[in-house]
Amino acid sequence: MNGETRENRQAELNSSASLDLSKVAKVEIDDPETGKKRVFSGWQYGVVAAVALAASCFHLYTAAFGLFDAMTQRSVHFMFMGTLLFLCYPIKAGRPKNKIDLWDWALAVFMVVCCGNILLNFEAIAMREGRATASDIYLGVIMTLLVIEAARRSMGWPLPIVAAIALLYGIFGPYFPGMLGHRGFGIKDLAPFMYLRTDGIFGVPLGVSASFIFLFCLFGAFLTISGAGQFFIDLAVALTGRSLGGAGKAAVVASGLMGMVSGSSTGNAVTTGAFTIPLMKQAGYKPVFAGAIVACASTGGQVMPPVMGAAAFIMAQFLGISYWEIVVAAAIPATLYFVSIMAMVHFRAGRLRMKRLDASELPKASIIMKKGWRLLLPIAVLILFLAFGYSPTMSVFWSIIAIIVFSWLGDKEHRMTPKMILNALITGGLGAIEVAAACACSGIVIGVIAITGVGLAFSSFVLSLSFGILPLALFMTMIGSIILGMGVPTTAQYIITSTLAAPALAQMGVPMMSAHLFCLYFGVLADVTPPVALATYAAAGIARSNPIKTGFTALVTAAAGFVVPYMFVYNPYLLLKGDVAHIVVGTITAFIGILGLSSAVQGYLAGDLGVFQRLLLFSAPFFIIYPTLSSNIVGVAIILAVFFFPKKLGGRRHER
């Protein structure tokens, strides 16, 4: 009877090709982002849906037939996004979620007026060659306040506070000491600079949002509605479920796959964690560790090509290189990070003597692939178009078309009918609001840096304080990037940190690509660094674990993320720069070093590790960071010695 039951259960899993995790554990999701937005019905939903649909159609049109000039493209984009933001996000959490307040309608109208003024009077503004009229000043003040308020509503206080401090610095520059001082700028100078120049609100960050990021949000919406989210989770469980610590590895793979097309660490943690955290807890992982793993993997999705939390597009603009070059360069470091998280899960499972998941509870990968293989084709189309030199805009446009076409190769439920396409267009338009607000608010910070020259002062400050010693400068940049990245979305994290810190590293001989990736990594790691670890707190809410304990567990679990950036700064071969032999050797030794670090953190390799063994393994990655043959040999030798001679070094091999 038991055998028959098992066969029936396996047949049920294979026929559905989907793991019903509600049968594993029931969880109530407290999504920290859900409470912000209004829930519409009736004519108000019609208005919001129409604006979102118009935004999606505008961006698809410009993707297919070419972008407008910079100010036109950006002002139309933010007119849609700003209007939607004030209609969708109430002034505070306590306001009714089923209707739009009168003042929000008014703010939406002000947003249309400010952006519409640029559209209607662009030629006259250009003819004035920067000379501002009274209306420019007034509208500039209004626009600046609208952008700060939009950012506050959508993502909380951190970024608006940074923007406000930047503006105060721009006004009260003469009162700052030393190299931070400047002549100061009045509101009549600062407001039009922010409003009418491509150095301020409508600068490069918002330009990237208008050109690329919106389309990738749309791509993600189409992919999700076509069934990709459940497919990624099912595939991850099927591929890794039977291995040691399979439930945890499934969480890592699922978060990594979702992170490839997601632009939010917190959103990624909530989406995948709702399914994988209960599975990990049921397998024997403690809630604190389960939440930490999902938070770390979701954060890693922001540095995983091809999307990289949309920061890759801005990086391409800042560095003046192709988007594909950044994707290629970021591949090995991101893989190192995820291998480390997988190793953490594996070694923790070994230390806890965990049992493997029962095969009867897992779907078969072949069945999952047979049903959902079509969902991988649009991602393949995206990568191929980028590899063959097409622009990101054109690449993602055809990838969206591919989703619609290939959806008809699968089950009826996920075929992209006109109704589903309409739903995806509306969902994609609404999904791009927060990123646009972050980019616009970041533009204020960029504008102050440009008009005051504080970027050069910051670089000089880092250079003088580090005494020209690169490791010290890297450490200072790391701390600064983490602090500046706390509570800020990925795009804004990268914009702020790279603008201030990357030039200082470049002056010390660090290649610009390495410097910018270094800043991106540590800005992103702020999401798992207490006290403001947003991804960790989101995962802790699902795991029902202590947020602070989960935060510090995630910080330790993400240890590789704090080492990998130093590796590619000193070892450019990890960014695929140089000859093949050096790239292969550098990559292999880096992987070995990361495995040693993960083993040291978890206290397990081939068996339980003693204190001396863990100290040895902790030291190994630091020998591998500097790419000389002798130091690499020492680092690898330490790890091999601990693995092959555990008893002589104070540990014991695990008896299975």
Q: What is the pLDDT of residues 86-121, one digit of tens each?
A: 999 999 877 877 889 999 999 999 999 999 999 988
Residue 463: C-alpha distances to residues 91, 466, 474, 480, 512 (Å): 43, 5, 10, 14, 16
Residue where a domain terminates, one of 161, 179, 206 = 206
Residue of higher predicted confidence among 486 and 518: 518
Residue of higher predicted confidence among 26 and 319: 319
Q: Which domain holds residue 96?
A: 37-206
pLDDT on residue 56: 96
Domain assignment present for residue 584? The answer is: yes
CA distance 548 to 52: 38
Residue where a domain terminates, one of 163, 186, 206 = 206
- How many Å from the N-terminal Cα to the C-terminal Cα in the chain? 31
Query: Quick one: how far is CA 207 from the chain centroid?
Result: 19
Domain assignment present for residue 373? The answer is: no
Total domains in the chain come to 2
CA distance 18 to 390: 35
pLDDT in tens, 348-398: 888 888 777 666 666 777 788 878 888 888 888 888 887 787 888 898 899
Domain assignment present for residue 262? The answer is: no
Winning range, highest mean pLDDT, from 69-83, 85-99, 217-231, 550-564: 69-83
Specify the amino acid at residue 611: V
pLDDT in tens, 460-471: 777 778 887 888
Residue where a domain terminates, one of 186, 206, 226 = 206
Residue 585: C-alpha distances to residues 214, 436, 573 (Å): 39, 41, 9
Q: What is the mean pLDDT of the chain?
A: 82
Domain assignment present for residue 45? The answer is: yes
Query: Which percentage of the chain shows pLDDT scores above 90?
Result: 27
Phi and psi torsions of 175, nearest 5°: -90, 0
652 beta partners: 608
pLDDT on residue 20: 41
Q: What SS3 class is residue 607?
A: strand
Domain assignment present for residue 483? The answer is: yes
pLDDT of residue 24 exceeding 60, the answer is: no
Element (DSSP H or E) covering residue 271: helix 265-283
Domain assignment present for residue 405? The answer is: no
Element (DSSP H or E) covering residue 360: none
Domain assignment present for residue 255? The answer is: no
Residue of higher predicted confidence among 371 and 174: 174
Please give the model's pTM, rounded to 2 decimal places: 0.72
Query: Which percentage of the chain shows pLDDT scores above 70?
Result: 89
Domain assignment present for residue 113? The answer is: yes
Segment among 113-122, 263-272, 379-388, 624-633 with least mean pLDDT: 263-272
CA distance 82 to 59: 15
Q: Are 484 and 162 in contact (CB under 8 A)?
A: yes
91 beta partners: none
653 beta partners: 607
